[in-house]
Chains A and B, each alone.
Chain A
């Protein structure tokens, strides 16, 4: 295609410019994919090269190292101790001891059972003392999976530590060769509040995240490939085991047996996206509008208006949401009020009609959300340099033109990432939906889909229902969770690619 120079491009009419940009955009797509492909290729290349380099380095260190280093290959920390770094050496040694002890006593056991998730289920066994058959529990699939994952984490950590131990020997030899002293244990401790202070600070938070977020997520991803549910709880009734991609097949195949499941998923996903869209943008624009009203010159008692709105943030959401939910109930205040006015005879079906319910949820969410956006917009509006408006005034912009050409673009630029997080946050807005409607009204045809989702259920509330119902289909919850992740990741990647504020983050600074 023909490429224009700047001046030629500027000469084009608006329509032509648009077409030209569109063509450029599509022309760039193959390159985009190529770039991704190259990046992935490079990643693997670097990975293998890296591993190769590490292995070579390990081998070379062994060949060239002195006897202290060589012994360290088996007895971790020996080199450190032999060279006077007692503290480090002891830590290495202790870690190795713990690891070996753990692996021998339990680790190997869990690992060996991981492929099957247990073979001996609960069964009846003859008890000689009682002279009766009693229930005996066998393996616990849940624990096998959990400790299996933990053991793998542990092994990875051990390999990393072992490698570090070797590297330390190598550097120690180098330093000693130059005649300088090694760092003492005291130095090491001091560096924990100085040069390596970040390690100290991060230790606790990252451990928490590792144990309470990463590990459970890995576990739950694995659950998606098992049949873990209420009927197979892995211990007291039946063991659960690996089922491969079966759960995903169920969701994504349109076979007769799973039609309801697939359709329910599709419908809930659609509603989730619609909800997230409206919840985000109604709040965004109305919040901005309110902020501009309050901030307008000449409006008095600004603080009062703000404080009134902020009340919805201050009061715990469960109170306001539950209460509002009851206000709109069939026999609630709103219907009562409208009846007293004589406007209606029958109560309005705020929560009983699917369309009404969806609409009401969005409206109530505006009530909840405007104050946040009002605060955010106020902060940003105050940050817009006054001279931009002055310049626009002199250039001849009317009030509305100033809004359209300066305020709005500025807001969108600055809040681009916020809009994204707000969108994904709304997709997972459990509280508003669950406390207002509980997911209802019922969606009768979908009750076979597990967790009996309702008309206003989001993926996240459905997920919750799936795990709490009598069936407790954990594997299904896990599949839904993974799908939520996939959808959110897709949106994030696409939006980040398009986001102007991401490309030009300093435009407004």
Chain B
């Protein structure tokens, strides 16, 4: 009570001043934020702008200390088609398409089951997979490479081998979509069961239509995975150009002996890879955000 008294003495005179002060400090705060955000935007966009600009550079093919090309042209893009780049692109695209379909099916099976069914081995199974996940996945590559090689699925035939490797263990990545299924009320299932649906019908008729965001999220991440994966693809293609994906292929242009000749082509290739993936991503951004935030919160 004492302090309101104090305020009541002060306030009438200071009221106007205080009011302006409040507003002004808010404006200053927001201006600061805008400045920070603009700086961040510049930092975030610089590499992407640079890579696009450099892909049009014709005067030299190696790394230079400036950004704006002195001679513009499509030479780098034309040159791409003289190399194995189209093959890498096709490899990656095939892999990505197959993986996005198959992996989605597997992940949804896994996450739906673990979210909805209560069977004896559920908890042990989840714990077991948690432990499995602590092993570096790369370790399994050594043996998988040998086995795939015996099956003839490496090097020039790397694409089916790679698809197999990507999808086979994708059941381990059930976590985020399980989190989503957990948020769908169980009473929906129960109502459908009472209405006479079998478990399979519950999944196809009730849950899947409701799970559209997470399905799209899973497809999107599964599709983008092969575009970014480097280590497995490199292992399985084992220096055979015909079996590489874009990541490994373009990486090979940046090795010390190649970089002088292929640097600007790398930029051009990067732009060609990034454009469709980025457009796709930005179109489906909403679902991605839903998946990422939901998954993290469910943890």
Q: Which residues of A contact B (CB under 8 A)?
A: 142, 146, 190, 193-195, 197-198, 200-202, 204-206, 208-209, 211-214, 216-217, 219-220, 223, 290, 293-294, 296, 298-299, 305, 307-320, 322-327, 329, 331-333, 335-337, 339-340, 367, 372, 375-376, 378-380, 383, 414-418, 421, 424, 428, 430-431, 434-435, 459-460, 463-464, 467, 474, 477-478, 481, 484-485, 488-489, 492, 501
Contacts and interface: CB of A to CB of B under 8 A. Distances in A.
Contacts of B159: none
Nearest to A431: B230
Interface stretch (B14-22, B34-42, B78-86, B210-218): B34-42
Contact of A220 (B26, B143, B299): B143
A293 B169 CA distance: 39
Interface stretch (B5-13, B46-54, B69-77): B46-54
The bracket for how many chain B residues form the interface is 35 or more
17 contacts: A202-B110, A205-B109, A209-B129, A212-B164, A314-B278, A314-B285, A318-B247, A333-B64, A339-B65, A375-B288, A376-B296, A379-B294, A383-B297, A414-B297, A431-B228, A434-B230, A481-B139
Contact of A314 (B106, B165, B266, B281): B281
B44 A201 contact: no
A372 B147 CA distance: 36
A336 B66 contact: yes
B181 interface: no
A367 B200 contact: no
B184 interface: no
**6 closest cross-chain pairs (CB), A and B:** A336-B65, A379-B293, A205-B171, A417-B299, A212-B168, A216-B140
A435 B230 contact: yes
A367 B44 contact: yes
Interface of B: 26, 29-30, 33-34, 36-37, 40-41, 43-45, 47-48, 50-51, 63-67, 106-107, 109-110, 112-113, 117, 119, 129, 131-132, 134-144, 146-147, 164-165, 167-172, 174, 198-201, 203, 224, 227-228, 230-231, 246-247, 250-251, 254, 259, 263, 266-267, 270, 273-274, 277-278, 281-282, 285, 288-289, 292-294, 296-297, 299
A379 B165 CA distance: 33
A327 B47 contact: yes
B185 to A, nearest CB: 15
Contacts of A460: 136, 138
B147 to A, nearest CB: 7
A501 B299 CA distance: 10
A206 B171 contact: yes
Contacts of A326: 63, 254, 259, 263
B165 A310 contact: no
A339 B172 CA distance: 49
A417 B84 CA distance: 43
A344 to B, nearest CB: 12
Given A201-B112, A293-B36, A485-B136, A209 B297 contact: no
Contacts of A294: 37
Nearest to A217: B135
Contacts of A415: 296-297, 299
A450 to B, nearest CB: 15
A319 B172 contact: no
B140 A220 contact: yes
Nearest to A366: B43
